[in-house]
Every structure is written in C-alpha cells, then in structure tokens.
Structure 1
Amino acid sequence: MEPRAPVPHPWATFCAHGGRVAAARAAFGGADWIDLSTGIAPWSWPVDTLAGLDRLPEPAEIAALEAAAARAFGVADPAQVVAVPGTDLAMRLLAPLIGARAPAVRHPGYAGHRAAWPGAELVAEGPGDHDLFVLASPANPDGRLAGPVDLLAAPMTLVLDEAYADPAAGLCPHASDRLIVLRSFGKFYGLPGLRLGFVVAGDRIAGGLRAMLGDWPVSSPAVAIGTAAYRDIAWRRAQASRIVETGALLDTVLHEAGLALAGSAPLFRLVACDDAARLFGTLAHHAILTRPFADRTDRLRIGLPRGATALTRLAAALEEYRS
C-alpha cells in the first residue's frame, strides 16, 4: 500500500512566519487587524524622526551603538558586539564564516535556523556528535529556556539565538568564538521594521562578520534610534513591566477560554488544542492574526494584545470559538 501524502495545513500561507497581515486581509477581509502572530512587543520605543537619512552613518556612531548595546547585554568589551541588519540575515552570514561540517538545529524551532543551515540535522534535545548546534533560548515557539550550565560546557560551537531574551543579559557576557549569541532589537523595542540586531562573539567571528558587512552595516536611522533606545533605561524598565502585566491578562483570557498552554515566553503564548486550525480561522474572521504551524496542527502561537480594546476583542472571538 502506498503511504499517504501529508495533508496540507488549511492555513499554510500563514505557517512560514508571522506578520502576513496583507495576506490575511486578502483571505478574510476586514481592515482593522490585530496582529498577534509575530511575538513582537505591541508598544514601540517612541521615534520622533528618522534622522540621518541624508548621510551615511559615521564609524564613531556605529561604535556608540555597539557600546550602548554591550552595556545592555552585560558585555564588557564592545568590540565583541557587532551591529547587523537583523539577526535573520546575520545567521546566513555566520553559516559560511563558522564553516561547520556537521551542524545540528534544534527542532521544533525557528524556521530561519533551518534556512541558514539547510543541511543541518534536526534534533529534539542534545546535539550529539555534531560540531555546531543552533538553538534559541527562550525557544520559538514554546519558550523553553536552555540550561546555561549545559551550554557553557558544550564541546561544540553553539549559535544561541536570544531574540526573546530582553531585558535579561542572557549568555551574552560569556560569548566567544565557541558561543555565538544573537540578539534582536526590534522584538522588545517594538520596532521590527528597523531591521537591527547584534551578534556577540569572540574576536575571530566578530572580526570576520565586520569584514563581510563592510563600513555601513546598518542604516543611519537604525544607529540613531538603537543608540538612544538602549540608553533609555527608564523606558526599558517600563516596557518590561508592561510585558509582564499584559502577559498575565492574556493568560487569564486564554484560561477562561479553556485553552491549555503548551509553552510561553514573555512576548507570546503557545496554546494546545486539537482543532487549532478552526481556532485560527475563528480569530481571523474577527480580524485577529495568530501563528499556526504546518508540523504541529494542534498548536497556535498568540502574541500580546495592546490595550484593553484588543484584549476584549480577543476574548469575544475566543468565546465564539468555545461556543
């Protein structure tokens, strides 16, 4: 008997990554969409103007950005912190720079890791006999935290994606050419379109990455906004409090809807339900976009709503789902 072909996910368009609001609007209609699909903070650091568009960023300004990021990450030497135009691109640059012969990528996890290392073996737990292990902590989509003691003792090179770690320092203070840490600016600061991230590594990897990126690795607006935002300690603390408080409210709404948590991180929740595709569709018909998964049709990731109005709309849509 021929094996059955896998059944395609009914919402396959939205399984690759979050943020496809235009596709959702085309599929379901509606105008005032609430995007809970990305795991990005719904409050943005206040940007007054995109200063610097009329000139290239100066080397000293890029160095100031990296120094501000280093302080935020608890890294003593700013030379270890390399500004990049988003960590997704940085991973694709790191792959040939590291040159691993037998890479492994934790699965389930962020699809961008597999895209950067397409020949890597997918592993659920430890990396085994591989010379490179790529993983996230907190993990995407279940929020699992990797044990720092185990990571620091790992015998192979690690690429640790800490995109969701802010405002914690994570393992950045321990970064080296054997422990390469990725940090995202846009998720915690609510400015993903700025395309700003950082690679924290030892001298060889940091120097090789700077050579690949050239003199202007990120835009002048990214330099100005990133530097000011990392120096804004009061806003950083307020943002952390907003995330915790809204997360607790979201947990209550999900619990009242009878949804079990399969995982969580500060900026998102992963819910488990047998008919996650129906839940996705119900929310989409209320112009609420969430994140389904092609390989886990019983899972749905839901980000933080902004404000009481969005939370009330989510609760009403979930009530319809329950009934």
Structure 2
Amino acid sequence: MRDHGGNLDAAIARYGGSDWIDLSTGINRRPYPVPALPQTVWHGLPTAQAQTALVRAAAQAWGAAPETAGLALGGAQAAIQLVPYLLPRGGQACVLAPSYNEHGACLRAAGWQVHDTPLPADMAGADLAVVVNPNNPDGRHWAAQDMLDLAQTVGLLIVDESFGDVTPELSLLPHSGAAQNVIVLRSFGKFYGLAGLRLGFAFGSRAMIGRLAKMAGPWPVSGAAISIGCHALADGAWADAMRGQLRQDAARADAIMAGAGWGCLGGTDLFRLYDTPDAQTAQDHLARHQIWSRVFPYSRHWLRLGLPGPEHEWHRLEQALGDLPST
C-alpha cells in the first residue's frame, strides 16, 4: 500500500470512535456550498458540449492562456496515472522530492526509471520531469518563469498545481502557451473542499491533451461534477473570500502550534507542516482525541495538518494540544 493522508479507515480501525476530524489531507474543510442539481445530471450521459463548458470555466477561473487546451478528469490523480503513458516507457524521469508520492509510484509502475531530485535545477536532461508547485508537504514554490526555464531542459514537464488556488501568482497556466512540452495539473476538490466529487484538470498543448483525452475515454467525469464544477469555478467572489479566510486560518494554526512547541517548517494556506519532537507520538496523541494527521516514513519529526473548518473543530484541536505531554 502506498503511504497517503486521508486514510481515516486505518485511524478508526486502530483507535476506534466515529466523530473524527480528518486533518491528514490538504482538503479545505470550508467547502463550497453545493447548489441544487437538475435531475438531468443523473439520468443522461454527459455531453461533449457540457464537458467543453466545464473546461472553459476552469480555464477562465485559473487564467489559462487562450491557446492552451484542457481536459476534465476524475481528479488530478486520474491525470497522474495517465501521464506515464504519454511518452515511450523506460525513459529517465525526475520527480521533485520529497513530494506527493503518487507521481513517482505511477511512473515506476509504468516502467520508468525514476530519480528523486531535491531541486528543479537537478532535473536537466530528464525525458520527463515532475514538479509539484506549491509542493506537498513542505510548501516550496517556484515562479512561473522558473518552470518555463526548466521546460527548456527536459523532454516533458509536468507541473502539478493541485494546491495552486491559494497561490494564483505562481501558476504557469497564464504562460502555458509559451511551451509545448508542459502539462499543468489542477485539482478542483482540494480548494473547493469537494474531493468526493473527483474532479481535476490537465492543461497543455492540443496534441498532448488530445492523447490524454483518448486514454481517458468519452465520459471521464460525471454530470454532477460538470454541473457543480461550472457553478463553483464561475464564483470568483467565493474564491477570493476563501483565499483570505484560509490565509487567516493558516496563521491561526501556526500560532496554536507554536504554543505547543511545534515550529512551522512550511506548507500552504491549505495545509501546514510542523517540526515535532516525535511525529509518531504527536500523531498518536491527536488520534486519541479523534483528530487524524499525516506523518511521513522519511522523517521522524514532520507532521502535516490540514486546517480545521468550523469553530468547534478549532476548539477540539486546541483542547487536544492543551494536554500534550511536555517533552
């Protein structure tokens, strides 16, 4: 099994209970209010026109360059699983590390030789390179021009902007027409807090996106995802207000953790990464208060936390940290 956040089943199996707050992911716990859906989204197959409208809404919301093609998929994960088959397998791939482990895992499963690299500059010469920007879990980030410069040194560049809604100034999408060998991935579910909808996007050249579309098949997303996605992506006022709210929430979380003696190592306004004396002990303590967090097999000290949403979740987190054993 690959190591992931969101594995709440494992927490329940180990600790019991049913009233959990899952902070093991970077999914916004202040979700977009889902509108009433027409019955047609359940009864008929999604039309090509509806899918095109959804991609157009995403492109407008995220400022994609006019010449950039797009494809809606069942979450950014669906794109991650298809990307390894865009080029002949067996080549050399570089993946920014540490980062979201599905990129490397999917490439290896498809026969690629994968090298974990700490910096984009170390990727020069790779047949395929993957950068998560901003990065998960440490929040490292690079300007769009840095990504365009990197694209000139690799065969195909994948820029995963799954957490990019909180840092729109970093997005490569407004500049994506400048490079034909770049694919930008975006997640809908994280920022909009609707991960269960399973909606994500890939943007790139018409040739590359056309190949992805053939692999994805004729109905890669549901009618419900199209309807909700179009509505939410057009709601710029909600997105602007949410960015401000999450910025405040991130600062609040950092202050709470500082009081517990945990220093912030980075993150985004959707998740924070903290330095703890012992991450496994910290996770275990929070779990006994039915708050699930994320630890990493490559670090004894890193603990990642998503941000609570409703006020009662903040109170539970503060209470849990209030009886944290001194170290």
Name the TM-score, length of structure 2 as normaliser. Answer: 0.90
Q: CA RMSD in A?
A: 1.7
Partner of 1:58: 47
- Give the 5 Å matches for 1:71-220: 71-77=60-66, 80-99=69-88, 101-118=91-108, 119-125=113-119, 126-154=122-150, 155-156=153-154, 157-167=156-166, 168=168, 170-175=171-176, 176-220=179-223
Residue by residue over 1:55-86, the C-alpha shift from the partner in whole angstroms, topping out at 9 and shown as x without a partner, is: 11111111110100000111143761111111
Distance 1:35 1:286, change over 3 A: same
The answer as to whether partners of 2:30 and 2:310 remain within 8 angstroms in 1 is no
Residue by residue over 1:259-303, the C-alpha shift from the partner in whole angstroms, topping out at 9 and shown as x without a partner, is: 111112110110112311110000000000000101112101001
Secondary structure in 2 matching 1:281 = helix
Q: Aligned to 1:305, which of 304, 308, 322?
A: 308
Partner of 1:224: 227
The answer as to whether partners of 2:271 and 2:304 remain within 8 angstroms in 1 is yes
Residue by residue over 1:196-251, the C-alpha shift from the partner in whole angstroms, topping out at 9 and shown as x without a partner, is: 00001011101111122222121100110100100112211221122112112111
Q: C-alpha distance in 2, partners of 1:281/1:141?
A: 20
Q: C-alpha distance in 2, partners of 1:129/1:161?
A: 19
The answer as to whether partners of 1:70 and 1:78 remain within 8 angstroms in 2 is no
Q: How many residues align?
A: 310
Distance 1:78 1:33, change over 3 A: farther
The answer as to whether partners of 1:67 and 1:78 remain within 8 angstroms in 2 is no
Q: Given residue 115 of structure 1, which amino acid in structure 2 is its aligned partner?
A: A
The answer as to whether partners of 1:66 and 1:78 remain within 8 angstroms in 2 is no
Structure 2 unaligned spans of 5+: none
Secondary structure in 2 matching 1:215 = coil
Secondary structure in 2 matching 1:187 = coil
Identity %: 38
Structure 1 unaligned spans of 5+: 1-12
Q: Given residue 104 of structure 1, which amino acid in structure 2 is its aligned partner?
A: C
Runs of 4+ in structure 1 off by over 6 angstroms are none
2:22 maps to 1:26: no
Name the TM-score, length of structure 1 as normaliser. Answer: 0.91
